[in-house]
Amino acid sequence: MTGPPAPAITLIVVDDHPVVRDGLRGMFESAAGFTVLGEAANGVDGVALAARLDPDVVLMDLRMPGGGGVDAIAELTRRGARAKVLVLTTYDTDSDTLPAIEAGATGYLLKDAPREELFTAVRAAALGRTVLSPAVASRLVSRVRAPGAGGGEQLSAREREVLGLVARGTSNREIAAELFISEATVKTHLTHLYAKLGVKDRAAAVAAGYERGILG
């Protein structure tokens, strides 16, 4: 005996290319379990559309005339939007990936992802799970594991906030609530600040923070 079907995952598509938007809409509308609520051609319109339609997931391109994806993600994070943002782009460099994740993106996929991988990623993002394309995940892991990787980098303002809360004994869930971000985003910030400080855990990060004068 089976229960009632799960409600469809609602999403909006933000991309400056009409052909891409049409393709994504057609792909999701032909699959069970998804409802495309709308489309926007830039980040500014995407934020407004998300505020009006309250989707579960925003599929967000990054480089768009009239308003880029990173700024839109940051604005959605600042507003405490319920929607999870899954970046879908052709760019996978650190200069694209890290700002998007730092801004609050739940996931990052490349546009060459297979159809089923994209469906799986949207389902996972809707649940707040971090989703990374294999290429992006591999590079981020290498970056963390590389000896001295990023050891001299400055923490971003948000990473300093997270580190300060960690130093006060705040849990990831409490940090997420205080900063109006998801727990997945907190974990992403922790991963980045660990790499920049050259440490592997919270205690070592706090110790390094005091040693470097970042804390107190």
Query: May I ask the CATH architecture of the domain 9-146?
Result: 3-Layer(aba) Sandwich (3.40)
The residue among 107 and 54 whose pLDDT is bigger is: 54
Question: What phi and psi, each to the nearest 5 degrees, are found at residue 89?
Answer: -145, 170
Q: Which residue from 88, 8, 9, 7 is spatially nearest to 46, judged by alpha carbons?
A: 88
Task: Kindly report the backbone phi and psi dihedral angles of residue 35, in degrees, each rounded to the nearest multiple of 5, phi listed first.
Answer: -135, 120
pLDDT at 147: 44
Q: Write out the two tokens for 184.
A: 């997945």
Fold annotation for 157-212: Arc Repressor Mutant, subunit A (1.10.10)
Length of the chain measured in residues: 216
> What pLDDT band is residue 14 in, cutting at 50, 70 and 90?
very high
Rounded to whole angstroms, the Cα distance separating 156 from 214 reads 11
User: In this predicted model, what pLDDT tens digit does every residue of 144-163 receive, in sequence order?
Assistant: 555 444 445 678 888 888 99
Distances in Å between the alpha carbon of 14 and those of 19, 40, 60, 145? 12, 5, 5, 34
Predicted pLDDT at 158: 85
Asked whether the CA dihedral 177, 181, 184, 187 is positive or negative, the reply is: negative
The mean pLDDT value for 43-55 works out to: 96
CA distance 10 to 111: 20
Confidence of residue 113 (pLDDT cuts 50, 70, 90): confident
Edge-first strand listing for the sheet containing 107-110? 34-40, 9-14, 57-60, 84-89, 107-110, 131-132
- Asked if pLDDT for residue 39 goes beyond 70, the answer is yes
Number of Cβ within 10 Å of residue 90's Cβ equals 12
pLDDT for res 148: 46
Q: Are 165 and 120 in contact (CB under 8 A)?
A: no
Strands (DSSP E) found in 7-134: 9-14, 34-40, 57-60, 84-89, 107-110, 131-132
- Is the model's pLDDT at 90 over the cut of 80? yes
Mean pLDDT of 65-72: 90
Q: pTM, whole model, 2 decimals?
A: 0.65
Question: Domain residues of the chain, as ranges?
Answer: 9-146, 157-212
Which residue, among 139, 159, 145, has the nearest Cα to 212 in the 3D structure?
159
